[in-house]
Amino acid sequence: MNQTLTPQRNWALFLDIDGTLIDIAPRPQDVVVPPDLPGLLQAVSDRLGGALALVSGRALEVIDQLMAPLRLPAAAEHGAILRLPDGTLQTCVPRSVPLTWREHLRAETKDWTGVLVGEKHASVAVHYRLAPEREAEVRALVTRIVAEDPAFEVLPARMAFEIRPRGADKGTAIRRLLETAPFRGRVPVFVGDDVTDEDGFAAAREAGGLGLHVGRDFGNDTANVRRWLKNVATESIPGT
C-alpha cells in the first residue's frame, strides 16, 4: 500500500458510497451492498473515535436503507441534508427543486426508454446509463430548465445530470462536519470516485488532508477500498 494511504489515528474519514464503497449498478436501486460493509464501517468508526461520515448524492433515507442497521453521520444529496454526530438534522439549502420542474422532467422523459428520473428532497437526478444515446437530450433538457432560475445549477455525474440548489456540495458538507466533534481538529480524508466528489477533495486538501480517488489511488476497484478500510479497522495505526 502506498505510504500516503497508511491510516493515522488523527484522521477524520469521509466516504462517498456509489463507485467508492459499492459498485455502480445500471439503475440506482439495483446496487448490491456487501453484507459485511455496515459492520466494517462501524469498526472503522470505532477505531477513529467516531470520526467517520458518509458523503453521498443519495437521499438520507436511502443511505440508511443501504447501510442498515448502521446510522453514521452523513451528508446526503451532495450536502443539502446533514446528519450531525449527535443525530441532529440540518437542511443546508434554502429551496428544493420546484414541483413544476419535477413534473416537467417526468413528462419530457416518459417515452425515453432507459432514462430514469430520481427524485430527492432537494434535488432531482436524471440518469441515462441505460440509454447513453440520450446524453445530449438529457443535458439539453436539464440545462433549459435550470436557466429559469439562477438559484439552481446542473451537476454532471456518472451517466447522469442532477439539478440541485446552489450552495449544496460535498466540500461545504465536509467543512461543516469538521466544525463538530469528533471531527474537529482532525485531518480530513475524503475518498470518492466522480466529478461530484471534486468539491470534497478540494475541501479536504484545503484543510491539510487528503483527497483520495478510487481510480487513481485504489485501481478503480471498490473492493480495494473495502480492503483498505479493513486495514484501517484492524491494523495498528501509527501513534496508537
Q: What is the mean pLDDT of residues 17-39?
A: 94
Tell the CATH topology of 99-165.
Alpha-Beta Plaits (3.30.70)
Per the prediction, the chain carries an average pLDDT of: 93
Q: What is the pLDDT of residues 39-64, one digit of tens each?
A: 999 999 999 999 999 999 999 999 99
Residue 6 has a pLDDT of 82
Give the residue-averaged pLDDT of 61-75: 97
Residue in the block written with cell 437526478: 125
Predicted confidence band at 1 (pLDDT cuts at 50, 70, 90)? very low
pLDDT in tens, 211-220: 999 999 999 9
pLDDT: is 103 or 235 the higher one? Answer: 103
d(CA 161, CA 70): 29
Q: Which CATH class is domain 3-92+168-234?
A: alpha beta
What's the rounded Cα separation, in Å, for the pair 47 and 35?
20
Q: What is the pLDDT of residues 118-147, one digit of tens each?
A: 999 999 999 999 999 999 999 999 999 999
Catalytic amino acids? 16
The reported pLDDT for the residue numbered 66 is 97
For residues 227-236, average pLDDT:
86
Structure confidence at residue 238 as a pLDDT band (50, 70, 90)? low
- Give residue limits of the domains in the chain: 3-92+168-234, 99-165
- Look at residue 94 in the predicted model and tell me its pLDDT: 84
Burial 173-186 (b: 16+ CB within 10 A, else e): bbbbbbebebbeeb
pTM of the model: 0.88
Give residue-wise pLDDT tens across range 143-198.
999 999 999 999 998 899 999 999 879 999 999 999 999 999 999 999 999 888 99
The residue-averaged pLDDT of 84-109 equals 94
Q: Give CA–CA dist 177/79, Å, rounded.
A: 10
Q: What is the pLDDT of residue 240?
A: 47
